[in-house]
Each structure stands twice: as structure tokens, then as C-alpha cells.
Amino acid sequence: MLVHPESIVHGLVEYADGGLLAQLGCPDMRTPIAHALAWPARMETPVDRLDLALLGTLSFFAPDPERFPALGLARNAFISGGTAPAVLNAANEVAVAAFLGGRIGFLDIASAVSEALGEGARAAGASAAPASIDAVIDADAHGRRLAHAAVSRLAQ
């Protein structure tokens, strides 16, 4: 996992021989949206073309876990497996909406998600492999309930 402040490299594929293939583009969400809409074809967009000569350099560095606590939460949800990623996503959506609505601070987002992924999520079986799409939908709903409770506590 890397931090790339210029937001030019949107994805990397590492091959077995150690080589990397990068997808580069201007930091503009219209490109991936157009890609999704036109898949499997590509479509023209009004996005500026990337000029590597003007850009000059690309920088990458390892994320500081203190500065980027949500990365650790996502990694742990991935490692836990089961429905933990669904709980993480649901809790993040609730927490970000609360931040955008002015109910909690930016740094409270990771706290709310962490609470939702805590003991309550484990008690609900978030680490168990989902048996059906209904189990994933239930995990999403549970994650949202836990996050709403966390946001309520943080908003006080």
C-alpha cells in the first residue's frame, strides 16, 4: 500500500517477474466513470490529457498508520474476511455522511468505523463467511446500525 500525492497513478498490476504495469491519468473522476459506462469499450471524455513532461516526477511513500488509521481498518477487515468488509463499507458510508452533514469531525470517521468493526460486529458473526447475499445485506444493515450508534456517541 502506498500514498501517491499527485493522484496520477490509479492502479498497478504486479507480474510474477516483479514487473509493474501502471494505469496513469489526470486526477479526474470523469475518466473512471466513463470507463465504467462504456465497458468494455472506451469513450472520449473532456478530461485534460496527461502531460508527463509537465508533471516531471511522481512520488510514493508508505502510509503513516497514525495519520491514515482507516487503512489499517480496511486491511484488518480484509484479513478477517467474511462479512467484515461489508460492515466496514457500511460503517464508512454512515460515518462519511455524518461528517459531510457536520455531525462529527473528519478524524471521527475512523473512530466510528473502528467501533462498528469492534466487538459488536464480531459478536454478530462478521468474520464468518456469508452463506448468501442476504447475509451480506444483513451485515451491511448491522454495520450501519453500529455506525449510527457510534456517530451518536461521537456527536455528543
pLDDT by residue (tens digit) across 103-156? 999 999 999 999 999 865 665 556 678 889 999 999 999 999 999 999 999 998
Q: Where in the chain is the domain with CATH 1.10.1740.10?
A: 69-155
SS3 of residue 22 by DSSP: strand
CA distance 48 to 33: 15
- Condensed to tens digits (0 to 9), the pLDDT of residues 9-42 reads 988 999 999 999 999 999 998 998 999 999 999 9
SS3 of residue 14 by DSSP: strand
What is residue 126's predicted lDDT score, i.e. its pLDDT?
Answer: 61
What is residue 68's predicted lDDT score, i.e. its pLDDT?
Answer: 92
CB 139 within 8 A of CB 88: no
Is the CATH number of domain 69-155 1.10.1740.10? Answer: yes
What is residue 45's predicted lDDT score, i.e. its pLDDT?
Answer: 93
What is residue 20's predicted lDDT score, i.e. its pLDDT?
Answer: 96
CA distance 103 to 123: 27
Name 22's Cβ contacts closer than 8 Å, sequence gap at least 6: 9, 11, 12
- Condensed to tens digits (0 to 9), the pLDDT of residues 71-93 reads 999 999 999 889 999 999 999 99
